[in-house]
Amino acid sequence: FMTDNIAIKDKNNKTVKEGGTLRVTNLRVIWINQRNGYYLALQQIKSLTKGGGVIPGVVSSPKIALDCCSLIDARSSSFQTLVYFISFRGGQRDEAFEKLKAQIAAKEWEKRIEKLTKSVTKTTQKSEFTATRAGIGGYLRNMEKNQLETEETLKDAFSDIDALMEKAEEMVKLCDKFTQKIKAKQEKGDQNEQEQNEFAELMQNLGISSPVTREIAGSSYEKELARQLADFLNPILKDKNGIILLTDVFCIFNRARGVELISPDDLLQAASLLEKLNLGLKKRTFQSGVIVIQSSEHNDEIASKRLFELATKVTCVNEVDCVRILNIPLVLAKEQLLMAENLGYLCRDETEEGLQFYPNRFIQEW
């Protein structure tokens, strides 16, 4: 759980920390801002209560009061009681209270201490030879012991997976929050190209939260897969000049899907439906057999004019130049050069140094 605009106050209602972000984990309560960060172990919290709100004549932010116990002297085992107030100036007090209450009740720190103690005990025990360890009976008992240890390990692993899934839900909510912010900026026209590229990279790294599967979608699997593919590729294509190789799509799309991988045939079927479903994308096959997915707004004339301007600027271009300057794959660079030649924007010169393309001067107005 994470929320912003949080202030920390002492028992005298004096602000100690202000304007930070509060994060609740399974072991700590963390407060952090741009300069500093502090934490309080959950095992130090003895009780928590809700406070704040509207007092007659005074408007107060919603708060959570924490009664904490701090060690003063380890030799005499003396403690002191501290009281802190977490002030939620941006709301979400009740959500934070329930999360804190649940994490304290779970007592994850005790589980970790117990697990560590078992591990240390297991490594320090010496294996002494006894009659019970000898013969077939000893071998069977040893196998039974190993099986029990394996079951305990699996239980711990599944508990870790549950914790991971809990964090995954938070990441999905965070991703949805980013999506809403980006859409709002796009509607206002405030978003720049750098923000679009950063968001596309973020979405690619976070992956797809609910990948479409054949078991769930049934007979409409290809159509639903095509829709999810379009949603995934739209932000990525803005950084790829509106066109991307199908082989690259297969890699990054499967990476985002995690364990729910799709076959090349499934991807090909879904790509074939993009244009039919009016999803803003379409599959295209060049004469050489290279298959790409491109935006419906992608225009061959505009791409060819861009190559013409590039060739005019540097005298001539080849495939390697396009890869270096336009940041596109080598195969796609060759196809776009040939496309510009077919449309009359470039003309070729085959030499011992390789194939070079020059701007076609005959299309210029004299």
Structure tokens at 324: 């270096």
| CB-count burial class (<10 Å; 0-12, 13-18, 19+) for 314 | exposed
75 Cα distance to chain centroid: 47
Residue of 175 and 279 predicted with greater confidence: 279
Q: Does 99 have pLDDT greater than 80?
A: yes
- Beta strands, E only, the chain: 2-9, 15-24, 28-32, 37-41, 45-55, 58-73, 78-88, 243-245, 281-285, 291-295, 346-351, 354-359
Backbone angles phi, psi at 40, to 5 degrees: -130, 125
* Cα separations in angstroms, 275 against 227, 244, 257: 11, 15, 22
- Listed in sequence order, the DSSP H helices in 189-257 are 193-206, 214-217, 221-237, 246-257
Residue of 214 and 360 predicted with greater confidence: 360
Q: Are 284 and 237 in contact (CB under 8 A)?
A: no
pLDDT of residue 72: 47
pLDDT of residue 366: 41
Handedness of CA 158, 160, 163, 164 (dihedral sign): negative
Q: Does 63 have pLDDT greater than 80?
A: yes
Q: Considering only CA atoms, which of 279, 348, 283 is closest in space to residue 316? A: 348
Structure tokens at 297: 């707004």
Handedness of CA 9, 13, 19, 21 (dihedral sign): positive
Q: Does 250 have pLDDT greater than 70?
A: yes
Question: Could you tell me the pTM of the whole model?
Answer: 0.46
pLDDT of residue 176: 64
pLDDT of residue 126: 47
pLDDT of residue 74: 44
Q: Considering only CA atoms, which of 113, 105, 97 is closest in space to residue 26? A: 105
Mean pLDDT for 57-75 is: 66
